[in-house]
């Protein structure tokens, strides 16, 4: 878009009289109008389908909303009940268990894959495709496939363990092993992050590596002192988005546990418990309270990460 | 699974069907049969799937109701009636029910328990699911040195037979007498075996739930011990991946309660399997007869409060659920036994080699899953706590007490916050 407005600082007399705010020209107003017209579907959609539900859920969290009848204002009752709800605490424990293990494991797996795929080897494009493919398979389809992988008798894992004389666990059938199984499954989608880290690795200036080599640095030291600082913004991004996604983890657990969060509640994460309350028990107000408590937890966790890790990030060129 | 209404009708009603696959096709054919039976009402069938917890979550239906654009007829699990009626989303059918000349005597006794709520009628049982006759694999019995013509009558005999049937493959269970913790999910298992022990889950007079009833706890203790004796529930390795029929069809399970469609599938796909049929074993002193654990499940039909064509919708419901012609059409199209005790379908069932065991359950069962507000919450807690006991995280008594206290809290909340509105 072009504009015909002149710079007022060049034309204003130096008299000490306050300058008038420059008024938009007809062309600018016309541009603004048409700009708004063309972006209005997006803006209206955002307001109606995102902003309104978000604001409505704040209100509903203070009511006995049931989705099918008028909500009644009950103040902080939902939040108070949540604090005394053992299933909520169990779901929160399960959520933290998942986040604390799956996020770092996911990052490490993606980083190892990115480093391997950054090597100059023949057919690396094929490897990149192979490792990225799982990330574009729909989650539900992946989860169904992994049901077979985790089958206690016929599954891939226990068959391999059996070769070494190890009796594999019951995986999804055992409360002790169900969540570790889901964490293993979640590394399956490391392809997205792998691509981002690979892009980061390729941004590392080659001459720095060469200088380090001349100075006698081995591969590990070059990674630690050259590659890692350049990757730190990408890793921070991975950590923050991983935390947010981890706290909202839902689909695979819904599929793998058939919506129950079993066995014995061992995979009932907060997102699933929210869903059960809203759509199974008609407790929309309570589910909204869960959503907002979860939001606060995610916000605090993100803030903590920025405070602890944000300062150690190296932005090349800044 | 969807169907447009027949052209040229005075009124077209809309019906939400929860079933996909053959059930959905059956529903479409049933709607066509109704259109053939009269000239005034057309039926649009819309597939609105149900999921989680035996179909308790019907998002499409809830959204349609919340948006005040519901179908004229929808389905529900009958035990949900008290909660849905209290939420105000079900039309009171009492007057229409009486005007149609229907009475309590037209339905099997347990069905009436769930059709009526606070002396009003809110739904009609679309079908009656007899849960469960008892089946055993005669070949497995022979291999284990048991008489294939002599099924267990009592829980003690189940244990005795199971010890002989059990086969291990290292630590894994390769063949098992029965899987009492998974008779169609943990909560259904608890109901089945709880009643088989003589337990009770709900006191209708006081409105209290009683999952910590002495005999229910005894039933859970038995389930937990059974699993432990077999090697643990996580060591069950009797189901090949991708199995499309009930696990009883693999020949790795000696005895099982089965629903009619599963039994029919096994007969059709495992032709050389010799299956004995009878009634569920029981445990004295709580229970005093074989088959005491049997109960009636199924689906109900209701008219949402803001539906447009209530009279026409009731006309369809009445035809399908409580008329000779309609129940026969329902049987021929979707294949579920009727809840209407005067249906000619019952004669067919009685004389059908496959369905005879189901007829026996249908005409003798006295139990129904407790219909009270927050029943879905109750079932989910049962699922969770039965598993907690099964995996040794809690004693059976602790588990059932947890179910009771948490459900009571939820019931109190519902009555205070929702019903009172």
What pLDDT digit, counting tens, does each position of B12-26 carry? 999 999 988 888 899
Q: How far apart are CA A155 and CA A148, in angstroms?
A: 6
Residue B214 sits in the same domain as residue B118: no
Q: What is the torsion angle, in degrees rounded to the nearest 10, for the CA atoms of residue B38, residue B44, residue B47 and residue B51?
A: -70
The chain A residue lying nearest B378, using CA atoms, is: A281
What pLDDT is stored for residue A4 in this prediction?
43
| Whether residues B39 and B176 fall in one domain | no
Number of neighbouring beta carbons within 10 Å of residue B27:
27
pTM of the model: 0.86
Which residue of A87, A148, A260 is in closest CB contact with B241? A148
DSSP 3-state assignment of B149?
coil
Last residue of one domain, picked from the residues B272, B293, B314: B293
Residue B333 resides in a domain: yes
Same domain membership, residue B66 and residue B212: no
| B184 and B281 co-located in one domain | yes
Residues B309 and B184 in one domain: no
Do B138 and B126 share a structural domain?
A: no
In a domain, residue B143? The reply is yes
| pLDDT number for residue A10 | 45
Question: CA A106 to CA B87: how far, in whole Å?
Answer: 44
Q: How many CB atoms lie within 10 A of CB A82?
A: 20
Q: Are B282 and B290 in contact (CB under 8 A)?
A: yes
Q: Could you tell me if residue B402 is inside a domain? A: no
What total of structural domains would you count in chain B? 2
Backbone angles phi, psi at B312, to 5 degrees: -65, -35
In chain B, the residue whose alpha carbon lies closest to the alpha carbon of A258 is: B52
DSSP assignment of B296-335 equals EE--EEE-BTT-S-HHHHHHHHHHHHSSHHHHHHHHHHT-
pLDDT(A190) > 80: yes
Q: Which residue has the tokens 């997102």?
A: A271
- B388 vs A67, A153, A264: nearest CB: A264
Pair B248, B174 in one domain? yes
A167 and B417 in contact by Cβ < 8 A? Answer: no
Strands (E) located in B88-171: 116-117, 120-121, 124-125, 129-131, 133-137, 167-169
A279 touches chain B (CB under 8 A): yes
Alpha-carbon distance A206 to A226, whole Å? Answer: 10
| The predicted structure's pLDDT at residue B340 | 95
Residue B418 lies in a domain: no
Is B373 among the domain residues?
no
Convert the pLDDT of each residue in A228-263 to its tens digit: 999 999 999 999 999 999 999 998 899 888 888 988
Chain B residues touching A175 at Cβ < 8 A: 387-388, 391, 393
| pLDDT tens readout for residues A52-70 | 999 999 999 999 998 888 8
- Report, as an integer, the average pLDDT of B172-181: 92
Separation between Cα atoms, residue A243 and residue A297, nearest integer Å: 10
pLDDT score, position B254: 96
Contact yes or no for B391 and A174 at CB 8 A: yes
Specify whether B60 is located in the same domain as B138: no
- Between B21-37 and B310-321, two packed helices, what is the crossing angle to 10 degrees? 110
Residues B243, B183: Cα–Cα separation, whole Å: 17
Residue B120 belongs to a domain: yes
For residue B184, list chain A residues with Cβ-Cβ distance below 8 A.
none
Asked whether residue A100 carries a pLDDT value surpassing 80, the answer given is yes
Q: What is the 3-state secondary structure (H, E, C) of chain A?
A: CCCCCCCHHHHCCCCCCCCCCCCCCHHHHHHHHHHHHHHHHHHHHHHHHHHHHHHHHHHHCCECCCCCCCCCECCCHHHHHHHCCHHHHHHHHHHHHHHHHHHHHHHHHHHHHHHHHCCCCCCHHHHHHHHHHHHHCCHHHHHHHHHHHCCCCCCHHHHHHHHCCCCCCCHHHCHHHHHHHHHHHHHHHCHHHHHHHHHHHHCCCHHHHHHHHHCCCCHHHHHHHHHHHHHHHHHHHHHHHHHHHHHCCCHHHHHHCCCCCCCCCCCCCHHHHHHHHHHHCCCHHHHHHHHHHHHHHHHHHHHHHHHHHHHHCCCCCC
Q: Which residues in chain A are closer than 8 Å to B220, comparing Cβ atoms?
A: none
Query: Nearest by CB to B383, which of A86, A169, A262?
Result: A262
pLDDT, tens digit, 9 for 90 and up, residues A75-91: 999 999 999 999 999 99
> Are B312 and B286 members of one domain?
no
How far apart are alpha carbons A292 and A285 in whole angstroms?
A: 11
Q: Give the gap in angstroms from C-alpha A68 to the nearest C-alpha of chain B.
A: 5
Give residue A246's pLDDT.
94
CATH classification of the domain holding B323: 3.40.190.10
Same domain flag for B114 and B147 = no
| Whether B314 contacts B303, CB under 8 Å | yes
Residue at B1 is within a domain: no
Do residue B276 and residue B301 come from a single domain? Answer: no
CB contact under 8 A, A281 and B377: yes
A-B contacts at Cβ under 8 angstroms? 115
Give A170's contacts in chain B (Cβ within 8 Å). 232-236
B408 inside domain: no
Query: What are the percentages of helix, strand and coil residues in chain B, rounded to 5?
Result: 45, 15, 40
Domain boundary among B268, B293, B318: B293
* A75 close to B (CB below 8 A): no
Most confident of A296-300, B85-89, B205-209: A296-300
Owner of token pair 């991004």: A237
Q: Give the tokens for residue A148.
A: 């077979």
- In this predicted structure, what is the pLDDT of residue A305? 93
The answer to whether the CB atoms of A68 and B89 lie below 8 A apart is yes
- The verdict on a CB contact (< 8 Å) between A74 and B417 is yes
Q: CB of B315 within 8 A of CB of B303?
A: no
Residue-number span of the structural domain to which B219 is assigned? 133-293
Residues B282, B144: one domain? yes
Tell me how close the Cα of A315 comes to any Cα of chain B, in angstroms. Answer: 47
pLDDT above 70: residue A318:
no
Chain A residues touching residue B172 (CB < 8 angstroms): 152-153, 167
């Amino acid at each position: 878009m072009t504009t015909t407005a002149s710079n007022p600082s060049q034309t204003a007399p130096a008299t000490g009289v306050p300058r008038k705010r420059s008024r938009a020209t007809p062309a600018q107003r016309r541009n603004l109008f048409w700009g708004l017209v063309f972006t209005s579907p997006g803006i209206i959609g955002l307001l109606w389908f995102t902003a309104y539900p978000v604001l409505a859920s704040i209100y509903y969290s203070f009511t006995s909303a049931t989705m099918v009848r008028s909500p009644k204002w009950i103040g902080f009752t939902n939040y108070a009940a949540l604090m005394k709800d053992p299933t909520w605490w169990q779901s929160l424990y399960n959520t933290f268990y998942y986040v604390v293990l799956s996020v770092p494991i996911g990052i490490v797996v993606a980083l190892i894959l990115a480093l391997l795929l950054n090597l100059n080897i023949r057919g690396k494009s094929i490897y990149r495709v192979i490792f990225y493919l799982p990330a574009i398979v729909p989650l539900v389809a992946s989860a169904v496939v992994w049901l077979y992988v985790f089958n206690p008798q016929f599954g891939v894992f226990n068959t391999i363990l059996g070769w070494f004389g190890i009796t594999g666990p019951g995986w999804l059938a055992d409360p002790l092993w169900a969540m570790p199984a889901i964490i293993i499954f979640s590394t399956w989608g490391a392809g997205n992050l792998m691509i981002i880290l690979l892009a980061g690795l390729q941004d590392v200036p080659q001459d720095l590596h060469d200088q380090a080599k001349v100075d006698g640095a081995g591969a590990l030291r070059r990674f630690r002192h050259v590659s890692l600082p350049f990757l730190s913004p990408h890793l921070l991004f991975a950590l923050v988005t991983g935390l947010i996604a981890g706290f909202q983890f839902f689909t695979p657990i819904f599929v793998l546990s058939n919506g129950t969060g079993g066995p014995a509640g061992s995979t009932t994460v907060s997102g699933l418990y929210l869903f059960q309350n809203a759509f199974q028990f008609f407790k929309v107000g309570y589910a909204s309270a869960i959503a907002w408590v979860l939001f606060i937890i995610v916000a605090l966790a993100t803030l903590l990460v920025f405070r602890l890790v944000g300062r150690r990030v190296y932005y090349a060129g800044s | 699974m969807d169907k447009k209404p027949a052209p040229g009708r005075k009124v077209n009603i809309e019906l939400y069907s929860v079933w996909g696959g053959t059930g959905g096709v059956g529903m479409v054919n049933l709607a066509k049969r109704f259109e053939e039976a009269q000239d005034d009402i057309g039926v649009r069938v819309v597939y609105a799937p149900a999921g989680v917890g035996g179909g308790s979550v019907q998002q499409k239906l809830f959204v349609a109701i919340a948006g005040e654009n519901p179908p004229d007829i929808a389905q529900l699990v009958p035990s949900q009636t008290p909660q849905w009626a209290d939420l105000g989303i079900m039309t009171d059918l009492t007057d229409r029910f009486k005007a149609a000349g229907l009475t309590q005597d037209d339905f099997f006794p347990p069905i009436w328990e769930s059709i009526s709520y606070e002396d009003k009628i809110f739904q009609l049982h679309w079908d009656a699911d007899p849960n469960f006759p008892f089946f055993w694999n005669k070949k497995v019995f022979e291999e284990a040195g048991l008489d294939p013509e002599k099924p267990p009558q009592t829980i003690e005999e189940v244990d005795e037979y199971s010890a002989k049937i059990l086969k291990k493959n290292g630590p894994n269970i390769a063949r098992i007498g029965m899987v009492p913790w998974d008779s169609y999910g943990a909560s259904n298992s608890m109901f089945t075996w709880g009643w088989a022990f003589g337990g009770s889950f709900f006191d209708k007079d006081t409105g209290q739930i009683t999952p910590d009833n002495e005999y229910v706890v005894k039933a859970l203790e038995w389930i937990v011990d059974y699993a432990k004796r077999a090697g643990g529930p996580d060591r069950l390795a009797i189901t090949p991946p991708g199995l499309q029929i009930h696990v009883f069809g693999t020949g790795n399970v000696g005895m099982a309660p089965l629903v009619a469609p599963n039994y029919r599938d096994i007969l059709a796909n495992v032709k050389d399997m010799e299956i004995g049929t009878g009634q569920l074993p029981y445990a004295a002193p709580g229970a005093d007869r074989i088959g005491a654990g049997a109960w009636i499940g199924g689906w109900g039909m209701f008219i949402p409060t803001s539906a447009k064509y209530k009279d026409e919708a009731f006309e369809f419901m009445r035809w399908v659920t409580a008329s000779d012609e309609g129940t026969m059409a329902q049987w021929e199209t979707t294949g579920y036994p009727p809840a209407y005790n005067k249906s000619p379908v019952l004669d067919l069932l009685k004389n059908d080699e496959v369905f005879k065991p189901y007829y026996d359950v249908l005409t003798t069962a006295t139990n129904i899953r407790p219909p009270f507000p927050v029943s879905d919450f109750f079932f989910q807690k049962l699922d969770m706590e039965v598993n907690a006991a099964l995996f040794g995280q809690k004693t059976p008594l602790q588990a059932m007490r947890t179910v009771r206290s948490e459900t009571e809290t939820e019931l109190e909340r519902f009555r205070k916050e929702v019903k009172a509105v």
